[in-house]
Amino acid sequence: MDQHWPATRIQRCYFHIRAAVRKHTTLNPRLEAGQEILELTKGLMQVWDLDAAAKWMGAYASWEAKWESFLKQRTYAKKGLERPAWAKPNQQWWYTHIRLRRVQGLYRQLIRDDSLFTWLGEDYCDGAARTVERVTSRLEGGPNNAIKHLLRHHRGMTEDHARKAVDWLLNSLTEHPHDPWTLAQRHLKQAQRTARPKRVEEEPLGPETYGTEATAEEGLWARSGWAGRG
């Protein structure tokens, strides 16, 4: 995406952000730091304007400052201590609260990429209405769901065939779809370019090479009866 649309702004889906955070904290975090970051994550859905977004950013900065030393705590490898599955065999120490650090890393990346509150920008406002969604519900229930149904009802297609079927589907869902015959011609040309010529078996030239079977001319037939006695 960075190569094809380098200037495109990104809005991360709040639903998927919350799902990623809950994966690390669970629904009922045991630690206070986990409880607070889960509440902050739920608070994203209460943000409706830039003032609320600034307030949320301040609350998150306070969370990081409050738990800074806590999130840096380390556990050192020693005899009898169970090593986490994600730790390398020769690793001498690891972060004690790795799951909360992963949540911290998630939010740091979202803030660094400026993809938390893109939908509140002036460029995406048409009067009182926002032109960019903060969740992908419409996308998931629309094109993505249609693709899932297509592939589910037409199982057994090759990967190339499935790609072409999805192309046709997405074309039909666009505001200004291309002419189907134009798409068919394009797919046909692609198939012709990628098709491999069939291998033709060449007939051997010249006399037949020597084999290993016995022949009548060599007198090596398996004999029976009187003629076969030595």
Q: What is the pLDDT of residues 161-203, one digit of tens each?
A: 788 888 878 888 777 887 777 777 776 777 677 665 556 565 5
From the list 103, 83, 105, 104, the residue with the least C-alpha distance to 93 is: 83
pTM above 0.95, yes or no: no
- Give the model's confidence band at 210: pLDDT under 50 very low, under 70 low, under 90 confident, else very high: low
CA atoms within 13 A on the CB side of 45: 11
Coil vs helix vs strand at 219: coil
The residue ranges of every structural domain in the chain are 14-130, 137-194
Angle value at C-alpha 58, between 52 and 61, nearest 5 degrees: 145
CA atoms within 13 A on the CB side of 14: 18
